[in-house]
Chains A and B, each alone.
Chain A
């Protein structure tokens, strides 16, 4: 043939062939995720279950429920944390406490699933071989979104079932009559399930876009998580300024949409149509990008780096690998601190005289003064979120080892401990840095008491370090179980977030290292728990490193 150089015509989207192979790819994704998706669904569903069960034990009279609903909604800072209460039925209270948290978790589950089956496949090179077979250009994305849809659908079903069965109000409004599950009960539970899953799918599509525009799976996850965080902050600010979810800020946030479905409070079904619309818009963007680009490439191509230089030691290499994450977390903590700090003054608005509310609130963090206890709750929350940072940072060791990148480094004149020390210094020191930045942000927003706020932030560190050191121990002794570190951090987060309202037994609450910390600012500084936790962290760390020195490194 006589081939002449011609300009390549723009890519056309030629019908169904773009989607060829979607079936096998979806099955591949679900097969790979046969453990992790059920775990996500059961853990999220389980947190709904435990909230519903404990609320039914805690508030078993209509008067108690009405009192909680009234006082919780009256206070701006509490609304910022949990949103307003729309119904004082048991279902309504369960919805109030779970909808933001549950939708956020569904978003994280979805973004992990989507990035795992799109950009991560390209980054590892597996997609190249897959796409050499009969796989349309849009099939990988479709397979990933269908896997996320499966997970979210399962989540919607589990939440609906759990809430319908366990959040029944005896004879109450929106509840059931007798022992069966009435239509109103089922409708409320389904609205909650669909609102949660809708947010999950919405962020699945956000992740789909992020996976197209960056070459780096970790960055794609980080970008999407930042959007989830921004949505949470928008909802918090909106709920602080209006007591019925009607603020523009709330309506700008996908998490605010879930809240505004008002499950168990004359469900506004039409609000459930907003996430699908947003899903459609985002899917169009993601699919347009996916059909047009080179596989493995992105629209933010990697720039060339310097020809010389580079990290000279294992520690410098670790910093090079982790600095982006540290800076991103730091920026997020400052921002969150400023926003929460500026909400603080609303905390004093709490309607007094309600023993129950105050009790809950104090269990959540503070003892003296509502402002102090709000700030203490905020530093506590930042501390629990910083635990996620320390887990992800410690697990870089595991990632480097399993990807085979640790092997050549360790084959150099670098001992295991020195190699690990570089990453661990960034993990444990970085936690101190981002907590300081969070405290600085709180001060910038609040305007008072810089030393007190920095101190309150730093006092969280021993608990964060204990969690980090536990992950080091897992990694050093049982490396295949190292990712269970996420479960540890998640457990601490769940205990801290929903535990105080559930009146959980003290020994259970004490499982979380955060439960032992003095509630600063406000409470007296108490050194023994801080010192004991720090010593415990050091001991766990030493044990983990001793295990690492002894065990085989995997390829």
Chain B
């Protein structure tokens, strides 16, 4: 598969602010790629570089095999963009705006335009100043989905949409995937990311800290283990990759309750150690998507997942060198 988007070592500063600090991003052709990160991480700056709106200070960026700054106009024939905050012209109707973008993107399928307007329940005759936030987003979404393009760049496209419209949006993205369109989706709606994305990249402070499929990302993090043991647990604290260990003896001395977090690739050793003390019950929970992102977002050191040390300072080296971990770039 060829790469629809490939970015390496991208740097961009605004005065003294370093918005991008060596960012990497790779999106395969035909995939829906989630682009995640806390506010101010550099997502929108990256997207503006990809759209040729900003010129990077250094680094390489290729979009559909071409240079996004030099070949901006040719590239834009093949892509559509939806910003997170759509502003419209006060005295132009929504329908006029959709057709304007059709002309500016080299064509728009009238049948699909009509179908999308119906599905998104958009009134195209209203003037720009009278649309609500969600309806302004719909204008941009209809214009983007009705365009015949190879790449969709969506920057928090569903902000302001109601849950029903969110569903319509997700179906539209699914249809685009079936058609072979590549989608770069920046979003804070994690359920949306989970439902739609083949792979995700997480960035912090202008650097990519993680990239991979959701299951790969899950693999990199910790499982929550809760067990009731007949005997006394021994040696758990000495096992590598174990965190937040909490052992409570039951009243009357009939066994122990154990709670711990363990790096996913060290789970095996923990289970063996637990079974030596005879397991009465065991639950093993993979991290929720929210926990996954919170860990990445909240980490202080942009050095990658492995350095996302827990607050108690126990050894977190377990994830280092784990398969699928992105080579984190740190400067």
Contact = CB atoms under 8 A, between A and B. Distances in A.
Interface stretch (A134-142, A201-209, A540-548): A134-142
A28 B91 contact: no
Interface stretch (B46-54, B249-257, B313-321): B46-54
A135 B8 contact: no
A296 B87 contact: no
Given A124-B87, A125-B87, A126-B87, A295 B54 contact: yes
Interface residues of B, number: 52
A28 B92 CA distance: 9
Given A1-B3, A5-B59, A28 B51 contact: no
Contacts of A126: 87-89
Contacts of B59: 3, 5-6, 8
Contacts of A301: 14-15
Contacts of B58: 5-8
B104 A135 contact: yes
A interface SS class: loop
B91 A32 contact: yes
A448 to B, nearest CB: 50
B169 interface: no
Contact of B70 (A14, A28, A125, A133): A14
Interface stretch (B74-82, B227-235, B284-292): B74-82
Contacts of B81: 129, 132-133
A24 interface: yes
A294 interface: yes
Contact of A136 (B57, B62, B73): B73
B215 to A, nearest CB: 26
A98 to B, nearest CB: 31
Nearest to A139: B73
A430 to B, nearest CB: 28
B124 interface: no
A550 interface: no
B6 A294 contact: no
Contacts of B88: 126
Contacts of B55: 8, 11, 294
Given A3-B60, A31-B96, A32-B92, A128 B53 contact: yes
Contacts, number: 117
B85 interface: yes
Among A5, A126, A132, residue most surrounded by chain B Cβ atoms (within 10 Å): A132
A136 B77 CA distance: 11
B6 A24 contact: no
B82 to A, nearest CB: 8
A135 B76 contact: yes
B192 to A, nearest CB: 21
A303 B59 CA distance: 25
A152 B47 CA distance: 38
A138 to B, nearest CB: 11
B209 interface: no
B101 A133 contact: yes
B69 interface: yes
B60 A294 contact: no
B140 to A, nearest CB: 7
Most A CB atoms within 10 A — which of B14, B72, B77?
B72
Which residue, of A28, A133, A136, A294, has the highest number of chain B Cβ atoms within 10 A? A133
A3 B70 contact: no
Contact of B9 (A3, A12, A24): A3
A135 B75 CA distance: 10
Interface string B77-111: 10111110111110110001000110111100000
Contact of A132 (B3, B11, B76, B85): B76
Interface in A109-140: 124-126, 128-137
A129 B85 CA distance: 10
Contacts of A179: none
B183 interface: no
Interface string A230-272: 0000000000000000000000000000000000000000000
Interface in A504-538: none
B7 interface: yes
B60 A5 contact: yes
B238 interface: no
A304 interface: yes
B16 interface: yes
Contacts of A32: 89, 91-92
Contacts of A130: 104
Nearest to B81: A132
Contacts of B193: none
A294 B69 CA distance: 10
Given A14-B70, A134-B77, A6 B60 contact: yes
Given A14-B70, A295-B48, A301-B14, A128 B83 contact: yes
Nearest to B78: A134
A134 B48 contact: no
A20 interface: yes
A91 interface: no
Given A1-B62, A3-B7, A131-B51, 18 more contacts: A4-B8, A5-B58, A8-B58, A8-B69, A11-B69, A32-B91, A128-B48, A129-B81, A130-B104, A132-B76, A133-B80, A133-B101, A133-B105, A134-B76, A136-B73, A137-B72, A294-B54, A301-B14
Interface of B: 3, 6-9, 11, 14-17, 22, 48, 51-60, 62, 69-70, 72-74, 76-77, 79-83, 85-89, 91-92, 96, 100-101, 103-106, 129, 140, 153
Interface of A: 1, 3-8, 11-12, 14, 17-18, 20-21, 24, 28, 31-32, 35, 124-126, 128-137, 294-297, 301, 303-304, 402
24 contacts: A1-B6, A3-B62, A4-B8, A5-B22, A5-B60, A7-B58, A8-B56, A8-B69, A11-B69, A21-B73, A24-B103, A31-B92, A126-B89, A129-B81, A130-B104, A132-B53, A132-B80, A132-B153, A134-B77, A134-B105, A135-B104, A136-B73, A294-B48, A295-B54
